[in-house]
């Protein structure tokens, strides 16, 4: 029987997270704006609801572990110009979607959305929803850093219509917090969760990260046990992506303080064991949900979807996104905004989409995305469903099937007559099992560095 260290040695390699397919490293840098406009015309004729993402990039500090597109601004001065541009961008999108505006899923990320004070949070909400109204039953969520949360913000956000909130926790150990330059206390986390409960948020998500500097099995176990005391509806347990060549600020983290690959996997296995023992349902990759949460029910009913906001229950088939670096998926086209705040503002203020890169998905891309998300979300791929959806059978993926056959002896996947099935052990390596279906993987590997799969 293959030992865990041997599995780690075999599968611990860089790989995409597959929030979409194909992933941005193979998108076109000089993608023409005309492609977006044509895609919007196609999308406008659809009766389906939209997803909408807003990237609010500001934060007062840079945490050493953070890989998000962030604008560090101790002063509040840049916000006014940002809001004016955000409104122009929302109007630009809306002008090309005269017949399709209803939103079933909205999420705000950052940065730290609660960097904004309450009047400006209200401005953002209004400038979006006046153009893209929320449909009844919409999931309306945002990310919150408890260290920057003021007493008036959650009540105001709940009154606006936000019904889910995701609190960044990462790790509760003081030494780990010091190494990642965050400084978040248990009291801050506890106060944020209690206030959200009191205000009537339907769902509370807590984000944890394994593989952080200074983590041990004992310290991370305490973090998990204390986090479970808060009874979150969902937990995300992400692997830390240490990419100092791409993110120079991560060089402040001494490499020798990082858990080695074997310990990284032990941390994830321990988290999975503790959360499942506490009754949480494993949701795709990295996520866990209370059995009563809609995400857990969506898995049971086969309704789980995945987009650039992560796993979703009510995600629309198309997504409009605003703000620097935000990614849209509309009318068969991916589009990413410029990541630099000043360049994003200049483009939008000039009346144009802030083009950074894009990709026009082929029918083959659409099919492979569906396949990959079946494996990532449901831990299975059934050939009959593939045939119903796209009119092809397993022979279309003969090379991928051959690759997966080589993994069967290691106990992470089972190939049956009816399809591909990820085992309990294989869920820890699910990114590896999706990679054989990626026609662009070799091309991506040559031009980018991904986080490690373990």
Dump pLDDT digits (tens) for 314-323. Answer: 788 899 999 9
Binned at pLDDT 50, 70 and 90, residue 449 comes out as low
The pTM assigned to this predicted structure is 0.92
Architecture of domain 1-18+362-454: Orthogonal Bundle (1.10)
Binned at pLDDT 50, 70 and 90, residue 247 comes out as confident
159-193: pLDDT as tens digits:
999 999 999 999 999 999 999 999 899 999 999 99
**pLDDT above 90 covers what percent of the chain?**
73
83-107: pLDDT as tens digits:
999 999 999 999 999 999 999 999 9
> Is the pLDDT assigned to residue 5 strictly greater than 70?
no
Domain boundaries, the chain: 1-18+362-454, 23-320
What average pLDDT does the structure give for the chain? 92
212-240: pLDDT as tens digits:
999 999 999 999 999 999 999 999 998 89
pLDDT at 299: 75
Distances (CA, A) of 281 to 163, 176, 300, 388, 439: 21, 27, 10, 28, 31
328-373: pLDDT as tens digits:
999 999 999 999 999 999 999 999 999 999 999 999 999 999 999 8
Q: The CATH number of 23-320 is which of 3.10.20.600, 3.80.30.20, 3.90.1150.10, 1.10.10.60?
A: 3.80.30.20
pLDDT at 435: 94
> Rounded to an integer, what distance in angstroms lies between the CA atom of residue 88 and that of residue 221?
47
Mean pLDDT (whole number) for 205-210: 96
Question: 5: burial class by Cβ within 10 Å (0-12, 13-18, 19+)?
Answer: exposed
pLDDT at 452: 64
**pLDDT above 70 covers what percent of the chain?**
96
Mean pLDDT (whole number) for 369-394: 93
**Do 247 and 67 meet the contact criterion of CB atoms below 8 Å apart?**
yes
> Rounded to an integer, what distance in angstroms lies between the CA atom of residue 180 and that of residue 67?
12
pLDDT at 290: 94
> Is the pLDDT assigned to residue 3 strictly greater than 90?
no
* Structure tokens, 167: 């609190």
């Amino acid at each position: 029987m293959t030992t865990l260290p041997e599995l780690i040695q075999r599968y611990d390699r860089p790989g995409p997270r597959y929030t979409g397919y194909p992933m941005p490293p193979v998108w076109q840098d000089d993608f023409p704006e005309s492609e977006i406009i044509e895609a919007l015309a196609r999308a406008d004729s659809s009766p389906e609801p939209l997803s909408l993402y807003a990237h609010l990039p500001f934060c007062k500090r840079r945490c050493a572990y953070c890989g998000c597109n962030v604008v560090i601004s101790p002063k509040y001065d840049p916000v006014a110009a940002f809001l004016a541009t955000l409104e122009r961008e929302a109007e630009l999108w809306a002008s090309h979607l005269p017949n399709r505006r209803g939103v079933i899923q909205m999420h705000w990320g950052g940065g730290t959305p609660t960097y904004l004070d309450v009047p400006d949070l209200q401005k953002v909400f209004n400038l979006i929803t006046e153009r893209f109204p929320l449909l009844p039953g919409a999931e309306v969520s945002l990310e919150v850093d408890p260290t920057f949360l003021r007493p008036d913000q959650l009540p105001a956000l709940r009154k606006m219509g936000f019904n889910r909130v995701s609190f960044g926790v990462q790790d509760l150990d003081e030494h780990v917090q010091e190494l990642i330059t965050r400084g978040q206390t248990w009291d801050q986390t506890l106060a944020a969760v209690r206030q959200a409960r009191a205000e009537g948020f339907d769902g509370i998500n807590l984000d944890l990260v394994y593989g952080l500097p200074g983590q041990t099995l004992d310290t991370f176990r305490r973090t998990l046990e204390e986090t479970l005391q808060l009874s979150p509806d969902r937990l995300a347990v992400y692997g830390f992506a240490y990419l100092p060549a791409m993110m120079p600020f991560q060089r402040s983290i001494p490499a020798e303080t990082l858990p080695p690959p074997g310990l990284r996997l032990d941390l994830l296995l321990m988290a999975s064991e503790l959360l499942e023992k506490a009754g949480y349902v494993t949701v795709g990759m990295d996520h866990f949900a209370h059995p009563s949460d809609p995400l857990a029910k969506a898995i049971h009913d086969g309704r789980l979807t995945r987009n650039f906001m992560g796993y979703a229950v009510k995600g629309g088939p198309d997504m409009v996104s605003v703000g620097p670096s935000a990614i849209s998926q509309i009318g068969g086209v991916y589009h990413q905004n410029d990541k630099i705040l000043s360049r994003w503002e200049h483009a939008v203020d000039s009346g144009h989409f802030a083009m950074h890169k894009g990709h026009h998905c082929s029918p083959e891309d659409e099919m492979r995305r569906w396949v990959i998300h079946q494996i990532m979300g449901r831990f299975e791929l059934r050939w009959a469903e593939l045939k119903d959806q796209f009119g092809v059978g397993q022979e279309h993926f003969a090379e991928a099937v051959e690759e997966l056959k080589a993994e069967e002896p290691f106990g992470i996947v089972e190939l049956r007559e009816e399809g591909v099935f990820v085992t309990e052990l294989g869920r820890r390596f699910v990114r590896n099992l999706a990679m054989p279906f990626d026609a662009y993987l070799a091309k991506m590997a040559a031009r980018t560095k991904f986080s490690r799969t373990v």
